[in-house]
Homo-oligomer: A and B are copies of this chain.
Amino acid sequence: MKNFFPEVDKVQFEGRQSRNPLAFRYYDPKQVVGDKTMEEHLRFSMAYWHTFTGAGADMFGSGSAIRSWDKITDPMELAKARAYAAFEFMQKMQIPYFCFHDTDIAPEGETLKETLNNIDEIVALFKDLMKETGIKLLWGTSNLFSHPRFMHGAATSPNADVFAYGAARVKHALEITKELGGENYVFWGGREGYETLLNTDMKLELDNLARFLHLAVDYAKEIGFTGQFLIEPKPKEPTKHQYDYDVGTVLGFLNSYGLEKDFKINIEANHATLAGHTFQHELRLARINGILGSVDANQGDELLGWDTDQFPTNLYTTTLAMYEILLNGGLAPGGLNFDAKVRRGSFEPMDLFYAHIAGMDAFAHGLLAAQRLLETQELEQFIQERYKSWESGIGAKIVQGQVGLKELSEYAMANDQITHTSGRQEMLEAILNRYIVEA
């Protein structure tokens, strides 16, 4: 295997005192935290598209990235070089999982058949590299949004041929995900939404979206794919309005169409904030509904209105995310996938390392802080005390369904001078600071 990153050796844990920018200061894969190692808790995954296909283009400029495989012109040779480079990178970074869309890994052909053949050729290579390195597939998916054929949607296209085409691609993507031992399969509906209601039959589109998902579930059973299905919500971008707006909306959709048993949710931090929610909110809502499946670990800029997909470095966010994940009993078979791209100005290969180190250390740090929060139960005790009226008396009766409005009204007549206790938000924020700094 050619050495694509000769300037970097394996990135190692060196501890807090290290000033080596190519070392981990927090992420120590084998360190036991609570009942698992860090590696088992965090289940880090690399996003093939951003890290090995993306080049730093944005709406106002072309790609800026400099990569050692840039000069390869044959598309299949380029695809192979990227595969070798990706596995070298993951090994050096100690990242145990990766995720990909079918068209990330191989060029589209003139025909669907040719496209699938191209993909299959790289899948075979992946299989070898996975065996050789022990790196595993967190999830696979099919890109049903980039090609112009999906301009009006895939499952929600006004054109039934596009639905069929998308179905063919999902069929194949399920097969290769199974082939590679993928532990999950994700649907992100990048074009499943609308640009204007003036030309849109929303009812038919939503029905078709549900039909599409049912077909995938059926086929997975048929071929014995036992991975977890995931839906990834996003409120908008590229479309004006995407049907999988946020966790709450997806929950309603799954329920309405009888899909609630078959799907969990893949939550992306940046998508949460674009929908007006904190990342923690989306994790919490999914968790308490039993559908927190996996995470796209990145961060947005709340002052910007588009998906910036930055590497996650904010310790508040990583701490509160890991807090929810620990309360969820972990994410497995999901994981923390770095759906993040280096800034356009971070165009050197070294930035891929620095960025992943920044993200991995931020999540390892967050894990330690969250674990400590749960060990001391400092927040939990506050909350328990705050809600203790529900454990006995009228509270318990309400919870047990023993009282109706009449009984409650009688109770209230006799108990109408309410005394409260403070919510103590400011004190709790100071406590959170302490856990983050001391982690």
Contact = CB atoms under 8 A, between A and B. Distances in A.
A113 B171 CA distance: 51
Contact of A148 (B64, B171, B198, B248): B64
Query: What are the 4 A-B residue pairs with the smallest beta carbon separation, nearest first?
Result: A305-B305, A252-B252, A160-B395, A248-B249
Contacts of A347: 148, 151, 420, 422
A158 B386 contact: yes
29 contacts: A21-B427, A59-B59, A61-B191, A62-B148, A64-B148, A112-B416, A148-B347, A148-B420, A151-B420, A158-B389, A159-B389, A160-B389, A161-B394, A163-B395, A164-B394, A164-B398, A174-B405, A198-B428, A236-B303, A238-B344, A241-B281, A249-B249, A252-B255, A277-B303, A313-B429, A313-B430, A347-B422, A362-B430, A437-B437
A147 interface: yes
A12 interface: no
Contacts of A351: 422, 424, 426-427
Given A160-B398, A171-B405, A211-B399, 5 more contacts: A167-B405, A198-B429, A256-B289, A315-B436, A354-B430
A361 interface: yes
A284 B206 CA distance: 12
Interface string A391-426: 001110011010011101101110110101111111
Nearest to A236: B304
A304 B237 contact: yes
A367 interface: no
Contact of A198 (B237, B425, B437): B425
Interface stretch (A30-38, A82-90, A92-100, A212-220): A212-220
Given A208-B398, A405-B167, A422-B351, A63 B304 contact: no
Contact of A345 (B245, B253, B423): B423
A390 B204 CA distance: 9
A187 interface: no
Nearest to A429: B313
Given A313-B430, A405-B168, A343 B237 contact: no
Contact of A405 (B219, B301, B398, B399): B219
Q: Which of A273, A344, A362, A408 has the most CB of B within 10 A?
A: A408
Q: Number of copies of this chain in the oligomer?
A: 4
Query: Which of A164, A248, A350, A401 gathers most chain B CB within 10 Å?
Result: A164
A113 B148 CA distance: 36
A196 interface: yes
B412 A112 contact: yes
A199 interface: yes
Contacts of A399: 207-208, 211
Q: Is the interface of A mostly helix, strand, loop or mixed?
A: helix
A314 interface: yes
Contact of A313 (B58, B406, B426): B426
Nearest to A428: B198
B256 A163 contact: no
B387 A201 contact: yes
B211 A398 contact: yes
A276 interface: yes
A97 to B, nearest CB: 20
A271 B322 CA distance: 31
A240 interface: yes
A343 B306 CA distance: 18
A302 B274 CA distance: 11
Contact of A420 (B111, B159, B235, B274): B159
A358 interface: yes
Contacts of A152: 345, 420, 423
Contacts of A77: none
A379 B197 CA distance: 10
Nearest to A238: B60
A313 B430 CA distance: 7
Contacts of A237: 59-60, 304, 306
A306 B306 contact: yes
B413 A113 contact: yes
